Structure formats: structure tokens, C-alpha cells
Amino acid sequence: MKILLIISSFNSLSQRVFCELQDMGHTVSVQFPISDKEMLDAVDSFKPDIIFSPFLKKFIPKEIFQNTPTFILHPGIRGDRGHNALDHAIRDKKEEWGVVILKANEEFDGGEIYSEVRFKMRDASKASIYRTEVADATLKAMKELFVNLEDKAFKPTPQLQAPMHKYLTQEDRAINWEKDTTKEIIRKVRFSDSYPGVKDEFFGAECYLFGVWEEDKLKGKPKEVLAKRDGAICVGTIDGAVWISHLIEDGKFKLQSTYVLKEKIKGVKELRLPLIFDMTYKTFYEIGSHRDGDVAYLCFNFHNGAMTSEQCIRLKYAFDYIKESAKVVVLIGAEEFFSNGIHLNILEDSKKQGEDGWSNINAMNDVVKSIIFSDEIITVSSLHKNAGAGGVFLALACDYVVASESTVLNPHYKTLGLSGSEYHTYSLPKRVGEEKANELLEKCLPISANKAKDIKMIDEVFAKENYFDDLRKFAASLLENEDSYDDFIYEKQDYLEDNKEYINKCKEQELKVMHPEFWDEASEFHALRHEFVYKVCPIKTPERLRDA
């Protein structure tokens, strides 16, 4: 089929749908709802068989849905109508939730239901549930929709004409530090992640709270800032404490909490953890590890997958340390992302953007170099969550790359005005060949894990339901035969010795091209980064998404 996606943003859910439709063999085009005329023109030009909107904030003109079958995803169950559906579900402690696909009509969330999929709610943030349970359910519902459209005996289910739930205001989200328990505070921050956050005030600075972690050991007065660690602040509650990792000041963008409060928390103690946390109690941490015999699993939980220079340095040291006592090291990444490369928000906030950008990409390269040249161990990257830009090439630095079937990869840089580094001109062609590597970098489109395996960009794809069991079996299999392990190590050492000069030359050429992208004030990177960080609404649909 020819399927037009009308979406307000090419977000993680839209990308997952886009990749799945392409993998199913459909012809897909994307249109942003910039104006009624542009939507009408897109339909007239593309002539889709159906229209699907997995993420939509505007009404579709009736001239469209009256003439072309048009379906809208709503992240709620039958009878749920209105904004903030997932916010309400978490706030109301729903044990089960779901998604429905409605046929568009003139009534908001009022169309007939063509498919519905339910799921068990997890104790997690709204953003996490949206990217995981909602995304999984959406793909199931979409496939069910296609089956139902082919079934001449199918009859859609009428939507329940229940009243629309209220739009949640900051009054509904506000924390009462003198009354709310730790669990209540966590829930309020979680159902407000990743938008709009919980409005509050610290040391006279009005800001929005994001990224909450429970703390087991520290205690203090309600709303007292007890400690800071790796950008996060620990705040007392009536029955314990929580860590808040990120804040947004009014009119600005998301940054680590200590970056926002700066001098206001100068006297607050820095409560450090070991370089690699053993994860034996609840607290805020970014780098942790666990062992399974001679296999070490290295977790790096950087918010939204963005990595500052300092985080890159710590990750490099952690990798260098852990490999000394392991035969296989598996890079797990974060709970929500593997990695998305350098930290654009920190660079936007910097008064020395060229210098700090240059520092950040070189720190990323140092991590990648340590992984590529670790000739005494086998390395595995575990892409159980999405990765983009430099984060993809961080993964490709490993000997083996495995992924979950639900993972989406964005192996490119140009949408932000960068040519990129992270040794990608070595690692990507090595796996897929020069022609395919150039195509991936130039087209700037997401690809599914299954597609990545088809083109030999990654080695294995595991089903989501048993992903970590399959990952453990895969890592253990690398040690089953001692002779095979030794042969692999010897061949790796010989290869790296023979190609060391070429590999380093690839990186040096990448940096040569990137240097003006960071330092030149006229570089388009600065404008594109600004738009990305401030979430500027697009004024047109990118050409790369049309007839993709």
C-alpha cells in the first residue's frame, strides 16, 4: 500500500512506525501538519491508499478524511478521550492501559475503533512507557488494522461517548514538599516526563523538574538540597529523599540540575560514587556493572543518550578498568537509549561553543578508540534501545553488535549540520561497504534493527520478550571454546596491528572536516543545534521524508 504518515513530529514512535511499514514493503511518505493546504497538497500529490497518524496535535481537514481512509492513534483505551491520556493513566495508578486506532471524523477522539491493544502498566516515567509499551502496542494495533481493513466481515467498534478528561495543569502536577511522600513525588515527576515537567522553585529560580531517582540512604528536611552528584541534586522529602537529574528554567532548555543552579548550590557537598557503581541500593548513578563469570556488562545511563565530555571520560576509564578482569565486555548503554552521541544541550549553553564542541567530539573518540583497540578481549554492544548519530558508531566500534527487534537506529549526522567522527568512516564501510555507508549517511533516515542486520551493519537481532536471556547466551557462547576464543584474539591483534595507521587516519580526516563545523560562527551546526535544543517547530516537511 501507499501510506501517508501525517505526524506533528518525526519522534521515536513515528520513526518506529515508519521503519516497520518500510520493512513490510509499503511505500511510505511523511507530511507534517504545517497547514491545511500543505496536508491537502500532500494527499493530492502522493495519492495514498490510507493515511495514518501515530502522533498528531492538529485536526486533519475533513476534505482529507472524507475522501481517503484516515486513521488516528490514541494512546488510551476505549472510552478514553482528550489530551494527557498517558499522564492520567500514570497519575491514576492504572494497572492496565492501551492504545486504540480510530477512524478520523469531526469529533475529537470520537471515531470508530478499528483496533485496540492493551498492555500492563510499568512503574516508570511517561516517556519510558511511551517509547516502550505504547510503541509496541502501536505496531500490534497497526498490523491488526491492516488485517481488519482486508476483512469484509469486519465491523468497527463504536467509541464510547465518555466525557473528555481534563487537561492537566501545573496545579495538578505540583509537588507539596511538606505533605507528599517520596513515592508521590516520584509519580508526579514521572507522569510529567518528558513534557511539560513539574514546575517548582529552588533558591529563587523557577524551573521544571525532570528525571527522578529514589535515594535509599540520605535523609533530610523536605526540599532541602542534601547533595549533588554528576549533575543531579538530592532533595529531602518527608520520608526520605529523591534525586532530580535535570531542570529547565522558564524560556530555556533542559540541562543537568547543577548546571541550572550553579552558584546557588556551591556549598552543597558532592557525594561521589565509585567509578563503577555495584547497583546494590537505590540512588542516582550513571555507570554501573555486573558480572557473569568472565563476561562483564557495562551499563552507562546517560539521560536521553546524550554524552558530555566528562561523561565520555568516565566511561572510557570505566571500560579500561573493567576489561582488565574480563574476557568479554558487553556495553549495555542506558535504560532508555544506548547512546545519541555528543551533548547538544550542554554545547548550546556553553559560552565557548567551539571549544566545548571540539572537546566533546574528541572525548567521544577517546572512548571509541579504547573499544576498537582493546585487543585482549572480545567486545559486544547491546542495542536493546535506540541509538543515533555518534551513539550508533560507538556501538559499531565493538567486535559484535546485537540488537532488540524493537530498536531503531539513526546512523547519520547531517540533519544537525555535522559530518561526524567516532571513527565512522572506518567502522561503517568495514561492515556494509562504501556504497551503502554513503547511502546511510546521505539519506539521513532511520532503519530498523532487522534492516540493519540485512545489510550486515549489525550481527544479531533478538526477540524483545527474551532479549536479555538471548544476550547472555550469546556472550557466554563466545567463551565456550577456548581455542576459538584464543584464535579470535590472535586474529584481532594481527588485524589491528596491520590496520592501526589506516584506522587512525580515518579519525584524523573526520576531525579535519569537523573542525570548522564547530569553530566557524557561520557553520549551520549552530543554527540547527539551536532549533533542536529549543524544539523549534518545523516550517516545512523535510524532503528526505517524502516518498522515502
pLDDT tens digit sequence for 191-240? 999 899 999 999 999 999 999 999 999 999 999 999 999 999 999 999 99
Same domain, 327 and 445: yes
pLDDT in tens, 297-314: 999 999 999 999 999 999
pLDDT in tens, 118-169: 999 999 999 999 999 999 999 999 999 999 999 999 999 999 988 998 999 9
pLDDT at 487 over 90: yes
Same domain, 145 and 182: no
Q: In sequence order, which ranges of 448-545 are alpha helices (DSSP H)?
A: 449-454, 467-477, 482-519, 524-533
**CATH number of the CATH domain containing 209:** 3.10.25.10
Same domain, 248 and 294: no
Domain count, the chain: 3
What is the pLDDT confidence band of residue 548, given thresholds at 50, 70 and 90?
confident
Which cell numbers hold the place of 331?
556495553
- How many other CB atoms are there within 10 angstroms of residue 504's CB atom? 15
pLDDT in tens, 330-348: 999 988 999 999 999 999 9
pLDDT in tens, 61-96: 999 999 999 999 999 999 999 999 999 999 999 999
Kindly tell me the sign of the dihedral angle through the C-alpha atoms of 442, 443, 448, 454.
negative
pLDDT of amino acid 161: 87
pLDDT mean over 25-29: 98
pLDDT mean over 12-16: 98
pLDDT mean over 423-433: 98
pLDDT at 480 over 90: yes
**CATH number of the CATH domain containing 14:** 3.40.50.170
The answer as to whether 266 is a domain residue is no
Percent of the chain with pLDDT over 90: 98
Exposure class string for 196-208: b at 16+ Cβ within 10 A, else e: bbbbbebeeeebb
Q: Name the residue range of residue 317's domain.
A: 287-534
pLDDT mean over 265-280: 95
What is the pLDDT confidence band of residue 547, given thresholds at 50, 70 and 90?
confident
Same domain, 65 and 200: no
> Which is nearest to 417 in space by CA: 386, 445, 388, 444?
444
Same domain, 145 and 189: no
The answer as to whether 282 is a domain residue is no
